[in-house]
Chain A
């Protein structure tokens, strides 16, 4: 349903992605792994419209090209990004952060049911409805960022390093929430450094190295892959 064809991205002189082609199938969890600076985040930012690819590449969402669309149009089309660093509206309450997540026209009907669903999925957010987002702990902020993205009822949820800065316990909480989402049929694409958790969750894995797709396959295949072990533990 989401297909990147020959995507290249450069920041000035620095080429972050070289001719990347990726296919994302519906109702699956796709993990994108790779070392720091390999271009994982750039990939998600390009899909979300925050970064423009070089001419020649295409991004097709249900066969419709979206590579030149503005970020809000991409959300409207059904792709929501949980950005790196969460980017919550810190001066706004939890509930307002969630409500603004349902801003796209497409997501306005059924806003209140979806709000209830998020509050059930993330009970901590229900307890802290009126609290300002910036006063919450790292784990709670990450949950809120995911819930906010889900409020737009995305067909694909993109997650950029969701486990960033979380303690091991919170990381396993996070992944169990993600597992519940995928089991409910939510398509997920995530960029992660936590290789083994991602491999457990994902149906399909891409490995990026120096801006290129280095390998792709099922988690089982990847577990055997020396590159992963090397990139993550230097074994």
Chain B
């Protein structure tokens, strides 16, 4: 049924675009130029939200990319034909974003906003300087003559491509990666997503669309100068349109763009010289009263109307309708789209970076060149990490035997989680080495560690709150050590959900799950990455006795299937039941190591746990 309604929506959209395309035949010149403004804004707002919506990076660089497109056309149209010019605009916009992306996207929050705002200012000043000092005139004339109907049609196509494209991408691996980054970048990285590359790539795709729109838009002007090309107005208008419509939905920004243009026209008519004031007031009202944008409101309304038909969907209320539903029919369609995936394939082997690190002599070599003891899957040697004056881990060495369950215990704050963070690349140690199957993994990034087949759960549960249970687990399968497309990932995810007893909650979103269920999702997500070594950070904490027993059995089964486990745990019952090897930490140091029975009867261990000598008695 969902498939049919999707086809209907597609058909309606196609007819709509066809009608819009035929309109200029009957429209006045004013109508055509209004259409141009609408389509340009739709395309830009959609492109903006394509990147900024899921990742929540508020970019003010739109004008910089629009300007790059305008200037490309203005410079190139003199000697090249228009198609080539526009292709060039798209390429230059893309490359420009690839160059500024890696440094810009390291910044978060307000710094990113300022940086992107400044980028436009910088472009404007540099281009003014160039025009004044090098070409000696500020204006560049657009000598190509092209009628506005053609511009109208070109922008209509761009707007349609932007909306359909961003809709489509949201169902591919790239779309999932982006959403995961926006929800929790740390989890995304530990689940195998190359967050930096994904962000830069999408930023560049969006920029390329912006430059293309800029390139077409330039054809409307008799001449352009830096204040037209790199006008911050573009950035702000697009931002407002996307937020007004709702950046979380592929069609939200388009609605926002249309509404914003309508609103501006109305305000100019109604308030004329008080236009700016009225616009500002509207803007403040939007922030206070429709914070998520208009699109979710429309969906809510639709949800209320359609409640009888789609109980589950309207109950969750927070999900986009374009999200891949459970039906197999849609899944097939999604699978068909895999060919166009842009994220590079992962290999299950070690990432080249790690290979290079090991070959060209890692910066931290095992002391005395000692080979890892036979049978050790992971070998930690001389590990040290300080935070300011606090030494969290000091000179720590231990091995994790392959195939077993190793326990890492110690009082709170003794550095256990820091050790997990050091192993998974979340933190970089000050000294020491970590060998995984003989390869140095210090210096490798979190997603590479995940590809190398080390997976983890988090001490404070980190389920992606806006994604469904199934999607959370699919991420692991799609980006882990043996990646697949969404369709295959979905069936594997369902198998795993069955194992952790969550099959009936597959459609609930993360924030609706109880604490225990969130823990199960995390475990399933970690397993979906197909690890050889699984790191569990207090995964059993907070379970009641029945759940604890189920949990212990589950870990036992996982180990029997050939996954080596390292568990940080306070539940001694589980340590006794599961661990053949236990490492005890206190104040950053290893104070005991051995079998569970050995370490738990060690007076040093009783002392740190219980706090006093007489406690052991």
A residues adjacent to B (C-beta < 8 A): 12-14, 35-38, 90, 134-138, 140-141, 161, 163-168, 170-172, 175, 193-198, 200, 210, 230, 232-235
Q: Mark B159-185, 1 if CB is under 8 A from A, else 0.
A: 000000000000000000000000000
Contact of A233 with B606 at beta-carbon distance under 8 Å, contacts A14-B515, A137-B389, A138-B390 already known: yes
Residues of A within 8 A of B615 (CB): 196
Q: Which of B407-451 contact A (CB under 8 A)?
A: 411-415
Q: Is B313 an interface residue (CB 8 A)?
A: no
Pairwise interchain contact A12-B542, C-beta atoms closer than 8 A: no
Pairwise interchain contact A161-B541, C-beta atoms closer than 8 A: no
Contact of A197 with B611 at beta-carbon distance under 8 Å, contacts A137-B389, A138-B390, A164-B412 already known: yes
Pairwise interchain contact B389-A12, C-beta atoms closer than 8 A: no
Whose C-beta in chain B lies nearest to the C-beta of A131?
B389
Pairwise interchain contact B608-A168, C-beta atoms closer than 8 A: yes
Q: Is B351 an interface residue (CB 8 A)?
A: no
Pairwise interchain contact B538-A167, C-beta atoms closer than 8 A: no
Q: How far is the CA of A168 from the CA of B609 in the complex (A)?
A: 9
B residues adjacent to A (C-beta < 8 A): 388-392, 411-415, 511-515, 538, 541-542, 544, 570-573, 575-576, 586-587, 600, 606-612, 614-615
Whose C-beta in chain A lies nearest to the C-beta of B387?
A134
Q: How far is the CA of A210 from the CA of B288 in the complex (A)?
A: 38
> How many residue pairs, one in A and one in B, have C-beta atoms under 8 Å apart?
103
Given A196-B611, A198-B611, A234-B572, 19 new contacts (CB under 8 A):
A13-B514, A13-B515, A14-B514, A35-B541, A36-B570, A135-B388, A138-B389, A138-B391, A141-B390, A165-B411, A167-B586, A168-B607, A170-B587, A171-B611, A193-B411, A196-B614, A230-B573, A233-B609, A234-B571
Residues of A within 8 A of B572 (CB): 232-235
Q: How far is the CA of A193 from the CA of B391 in the complex (A)?
A: 21
Pairwise interchain contact A175-B587, C-beta atoms closer than 8 A: no
Contact of A196 with B612 at beta-carbon distance under 8 Å, contacts A141-B390, A210-B542 already known: yes
Residues of A within 8 A of B576 (CB): 234
Whose C-beta in chain A lies nearest to the C-beta of B616?
A196
Contact of A194 with B611 at beta-carbon distance under 8 Å, contacts A13-B512, A161-B412, A163-B411 already known: yes
CB of A132 to closest CB in B, whole Å: 9
A–B complex contacts, Cβ < 8 Å, 20 sampled: A12-B511, A13-B513, A13-B514, A36-B412, A36-B538, A36-B542, A38-B542, A136-B389, A138-B587, A167-B587, A170-B587, A172-B612, A195-B610, A197-B611, A230-B573, A233-B600, A233-B606, A233-B609, A234-B576, A234-B600
Q: How far is the CA of A230 from the CA of B514 in the complex (A)?
A: 25
Q: How far is the CA of A166 from the CA of B391 in the complex (A)?
A: 10
Residue in B414, B576, B611, B612 whose Cβ sees the most chain A Cβ within 10 Å: B611
Q: How far is the CA of A14 from the CA of B358 in the complex (A)?
A: 45
Q: How far is the CA of A13 from the CA of B611 in the complex (A)?
A: 35
Residues of B within 8 A of A13 (CB): 511-515
Whose C-beta in chain A lies nearest to the C-beta of B460?
A37
Residue in A13, A134, A168, A232 whose Cβ sees the most chain B Cβ within 10 Å: A168
Which of these, B388, B411, B511, B512, contacts A134 with CB under 8 Å? B388
Residues of A within 8 A of B389 (CB): 134-138, 140-141
Pairwise interchain contact B388-A168, C-beta atoms closer than 8 A: no
Residues of B within 8 A of A235 (CB): 572
Q: How far is the CA of A233 from the CA of B575 in the complex (A)?
A: 10
Whose C-beta in chain B lies nearest to the C-beta of A197?
B611
Residues of A within 8 A of B511 (CB): 12-13
